[in-house]
Structure 1
Amino acid sequence: MPQTSRADARKNRDLVLAAAREAVAKHGTDASLRDIARRAGVGIGTLYRHFPTREALLEALLNANFDGLRTRADSLLTSPVPGDALLTWLGELTAGAATYQGLPESIMNALANEESGLHASCAQMRSAAGRLLERAQQASSVRNNVPVSEVIALALGLAWAAERSVEPSDLAARLLSTAMYGLADRGQ
């Protein structure tokens, strides 16, 4: 591929991502792909050459966020209070999932579907959460019978509820605090 073609392809990919970022911020994860291509000034075929599925486009948009969450989970593993570390990370996941309307549902769907373009990134994020949860369980901060899949579903469910609420913007954090109380190991 000639250098000009590669530069044009990179430029088109960047234009599509910029247009997607705007469209998804405004219309949620179900934003029209045709509209995204039009905003980018490219044809729909160009969009699909770079991103063969909606999930592949979302993954490209969210890759930095997912990488940041995985890195953050790793850094919180050294926290002296494992339960607080888990709460902090779940708060960040909840806030991040509320970035785009429909994102909590997209993440849950991706976790359930190994064929999804988002699955690998979401599964790595779930694995990072699993390490934090295991540490919190070993410290008796969280009940041992709570699997990571339920903790992730809880955080995403709270993000979903917060995105649809007319309540104050701290609703997700307040709900997460209440949920963590319910997850606490009280020696029962």
Structure 2
Amino acid sequence: MDRVTTARPLRADARRNRDRLVAEARAAFDREGVAASLEDVAARAGVGIGTLYRHFPTREALLEAVLRERFDALAAGARDLLGHASPRAALLTWARGFAEAGTTFRGLTSALSATLQDESSALHASCAAMREAGEALLAEAQRGGEIRADVTVAELTTLVFGVAWAHEQNQGRGATGLDRLLGLLFDGLSVR
């Protein structure tokens, strides 16, 4: 017989600790990238490192909590783009949001790329949901004859992560902007 367990709601003090940890992690990731010290995050939140790990057993779990709202919004936005007059433009809009999400914090593109392959990662489910949303947009653009039929969603997300990574590495150096890089990518994906 399967046993269904439900998570008990957090006590008020535990909820406050969790919320402070997420807020401090977001600030630390903004300042220092995803490799920010978790000990510093805990100290700034006014808790011990054990409390941080009780709430977030891994760095990826903490990242997932910090990024969840944004990822959920991206997935919902992709669903809203289905049925757009130009499926290619809808897919490009989704890809831009996906690339922007990947560059939210320095080093995030590498972390996100790795989680798509690691089903045990706390970030995997969020990344997989975004990829599924993109897959529906890709299929629509392919059915509409606007995007090459031989492109898979795995290839598309890899390419978008590549663009995000290149943009992240070259920010502040007068390099080509994200829109230009995505435009070049989509020129290569488009049916001529």
- Report if TM-score (shorter chain) is over 0.5: yes
Q: Is residue 2:64 matched to residue 1:59?
A: yes
Q: 1:150: how far off? A: 1.1
SS in 1 for 2:125: helix
Moved more, 108-117 or 5-14: 5-14
Find the partner of 1:111 among 116, 124, 129.
116
Aligned mates of 2:189, 2:15 — CA distance in 1: 46
Find the partner of 2:103 among 95, 98, 101.
98
Q: Which runs of 4+ in 1 moved over 6 A?
A: none
Give TM-score, length-normalised by structure 1: 0.93
Question: Quick one: structure 1 residues 123 and 71, their matched pair in 2 at CA, closer, same or farther if it must change by over 3 Å?
Answer: same
Name the aligned partner's letter for residue 104 of structure 2.
Answer: T
Aligned mates of 2:19, 2:157 — CA distance in 1: 31
| 1:119-143 Cα shifts (integer Å, max 9, x gaps) | 0111111000000000000011111
Give TM-score, length-normalised by structure 2: 0.91
Q: Is residue 2:131 matched to residue 1:130?
A: no
Q: Is residue 2:39 matched to residue 1:34?
A: yes
Q: Is residue 2:189 matched to residue 1:172?
A: no
SS in 2 for 1:160: helix
| 1:134-158 Cα shifts (integer Å, max 9, x gaps) | 0000011111111001111111111
* Match runs of 1:81-96 below 5 Å: 81-96=86-101
Residue 146 of structure 1: aligned partner: 151
Aligned mates of 2:18, 2:175 — CA distance in 1: 34
Equivalent residues, number: 182
Aligned mates of 2:174, 2:157 — CA distance in 1: 23
Aligned mates of 1:58, 1:153 — CA distance in 2: 20
| 1:31-85 Cα shifts (integer Å, max 9, x gaps) | 1111111111110000001101111100000000110110010000020110110
| 1:79-127 Cα shifts (integer Å, max 9, x gaps) | 0110110011101111121111111111111100001010011111100
The percent of aligned pairs where both chains have the same amino acid is 48
Aligned mates of 1:12, 1:35 — CA distance in 2: 14
* Match runs of 1:14-25 below 5 Å: 14-25=19-30
Q: Is residue 2:191 matched to residue 1:185?
A: yes
SS in 2 for 1:106: helix
Q: 1:167: how far off? A: 4.0
Aligned mates of 1:20, 1:159 — CA distance in 2: 22
State the Cα RMSD in Å. Answer: 1.3
